[in-house]
Structure 1
């Protein structure tokens, strides 16, 4: 209540002070000064707005009348960026009071030009100019060329292929990769459709993965081509490496009758890395270490280097210990040779 009384008491005082200031000689001089400043500003603005300026406007672009059996494999841009030049007053009118209508093209007007249609720049400029003042000059239009590609029923199925890099983390390896869907429908003009045999994903990189990873990947775009669907889901499965060691006998190959290979030792240890998933599935029967007679004949040393002739695809970093063995080509006795021939 006290605050309201104080406010009411001060209002007449403030009002009198403002009135006295406005009616004083200094106030009249200040108001006259402001008036001339305002008039000067108006003259300056009118003169400035009559100068030539450039401005850029966005005008929507549309293609209508597309038949249901036509698939657009290359769309036209959604809008045109038009740079114009005119007096400032005209440009200000465009900015504040003018709404640009979409530049519309009818599909029927171009359907006889084949699957690849090019709309002349002059025709685009003509349709834009119809919405502008006669004094307005078009400086540039972007994009300066408008074209589109369509397919009328031409389509086929193609497989989807991975176009990227997948790297597992330390002590892991990529166990499996698959895409869903593994094939897509591709629409394109006939001459272009004949050259397509696969749809690639957009390039990507996945590193240091230690668990199952899923990625949604768009398909790599090709001008004039439409993929349905336009993306695929990638699933990457990993497994952890484990080390395993087994003993494998050294076998002689292509030895003539009556001669056999003796190695010292007769068996070697093979150590390799294998995923936990396949750890128990690997046995000595999956490996083969052989030395041919021809290798031994050409060898000038008492030792022969060993190599694995057969191994599963899912093992890595194979090591043989010892990597070289002493050997002896033993001549069988005649009775053993005859027995082996009779057998």
Structure 2
């Protein structure tokens, strides 16, 4: 009980000092001072919000029912920049509270050959005014009209590439190639654009804490003037837990002339590599090969030669050899 009182004593002391501080006159004066400052700021803010200001807002343009058989020949505007005037409280709502509906450009009935799609100033202005509060003055907007030139598109099959970063947890590794389905998509655009395209990337995707196979539906990166079919692909990244396996691999040398005898020390190398757990039993020594060309032995005067794997499965990781060099003696046979 005495120990508990000793532990609580510092807290009681701090609490007592806090009570004394809050009772002092200086603290009360400071609190009153800051209260008046906050009150003044509140009145100033209310008064400011009643004054009129001008701001710019962006309203998106949405292109609907665009046939894959047509291609835009120019860059199309993605939004309309609107210049408006109103009280600060209303503009604050425009900036932070309101989400503007897009201006729709419906291209369902356009000619599938060359042509121009037009959205007039009157239509754009009408779509803008529908979304503004009655007290808001529309000063200007840009572009004032939208003219979209298009032509009959050309089709080309283009391979898809994964765009992203893969972060894998310790003890796990990517166990195979990334699979993209479909691996090739149909791209529709003008000849000039398609000639410059060699691959289409997915949107940037980051895989974090990978500890199992990941499958995601990922959209393709948008390129102005290009339509895809399909516009989304399925990406599979095989990830497995890995473990080490050690095998004894003999060193071989082919093409030794009959009048030579080769002695190697050691003649067997220990190979340790990372193996997916699912294929641990599958891995065997006959899937590896360490071969030394005879010419390397003949030209080497030191009697020591580095060794490396000539053949190995492509699904193993981080193969290390011990030792990574051998000593050898090349003896010339005597003739009777």
- Give the TM-score category using the shorter length: 0.5 to 0.7
For residue 224 of structure 1, give the secondary structure of its aligned residue in structure 2: coil
Per the TM alignment, residue 213 of structure 1 is displaced from its structure 2 partner at its CA by 1.5
Partner of 2:185: 184
C-alpha distance after superposition, 1:141-190 (max 9, x if no partner): 23577453545353333332212222332121212422233333322223
Give 1:139 shift.
5.2
Superposed CA deviations along residues 18-61 of structure 1, whole A, max 9, x for unmatched, are xxxxxxxxxxxxxxxxxxxxxxxxxxxxxxxxx99757688897
Give TM-score, length-normalised by structure 1.
0.60
RMSD over equivalenced CA pairs, Å: 4.5
Deviation, structure 1 residue 331: 2.1
Pairwise CA distance, 1:308:
1.8
* 8 Å CA contact 2:124, 2:145 repeated in 1: no
Is 2:268 the counterpart of 1:247? no
Aligned to 2:95: none
**CA–CA separation in structure 1 for the residues paired with 2:116 and 2:220:** 22
SS in 2 for 1:255: coil
Indicate conservation of the 8 Å contact 2:251/2:267, yes or no: yes
Aligned match of 2:175: 175
Q: Secondary structure at the match of 2:281?
A: helix
CA displacement at 1:288 relative to structure 2: 1.8
Question: 2:157 matched to which residue of 1?
Answer: 157
1:267 CA displacement: 1.8
Question: 1:257 Cα shift?
Answer: 3.5
Deviations 1:75-99 (A, max 9, x none): 655x74432679x9xxxxxxxxxxx
The residue that corresponds to 1:141 in the other structure is 141
Distance 2:275 2:189 in 1: 45
Higher helix share: 1
* C-alpha separation in 2, matches of 1:172 and 1:165: 15
C-alpha contact (below 8 Å) 1:252/1:260 kept by paired residues: no
Matched residue, 1:3:
none
C-alpha separation in 1, matches of 2:105 and 2:316: 62
**Alignment correspondent of 1:30:** none
How many angstroms apart in 1 are the aligned matches of 2:181 and 2:219? 12
User: Match of 1:213?
Assistant: 214
> Would the aligned equivalents of 1:150 and 1:224 in 2 still touch at CA under 8 Å?
no
For 1:215 and 1:162, the matched residues in 2 are separated by 11
1:211, 1:67 → 2: CA distance? 39
TM-score w.r.t. length of structure 2: 0.61
Deviations 1:263-308 (A, max 9, x none): 1222222222221233223222222222333333443434332222
8 A Cα contact 2:117 2:147, kept in partner? yes
Matched, 1:226 2:227: yes
Distance 1:161 1:147, change over 3 A: farther
User: Is the deviation greater in 66-75 or in 320-329?
Assistant: 66-75
CA distance in 2, matches of 1:60, 1:285: 63
Q: How far, CA to CA, are the matches of 1:289 and 1:310 in structure 2?
A: 7
Deviation at 1:72, TM superposition (A): 6.4
8 A Cα contact 2:53 2:85, kept in partner:
yes
CA distance in 2, matches of 1:187, 1:287: 47
**Alignment gaps of 5+ in structure 2:** 1-50, 88-101, 130-136
Indicate the structure (1 or 2) with the bigger Cα radius of gyration. 1
Q: What is the distance in 2 between the residues matched to 1:118 and 1:199? A: 30
* 2:190 matches 1:193: no
Tell me if structure 2 keeps the 8 A contact 1:117–1:149: yes
1:229 offset after TM fit, Å?
2.5
Correspondence 1:265-304 to 2 at 5 A = 265-304=266-305
Classify the secondary structure of the residue corresponding to 1:191.
helix
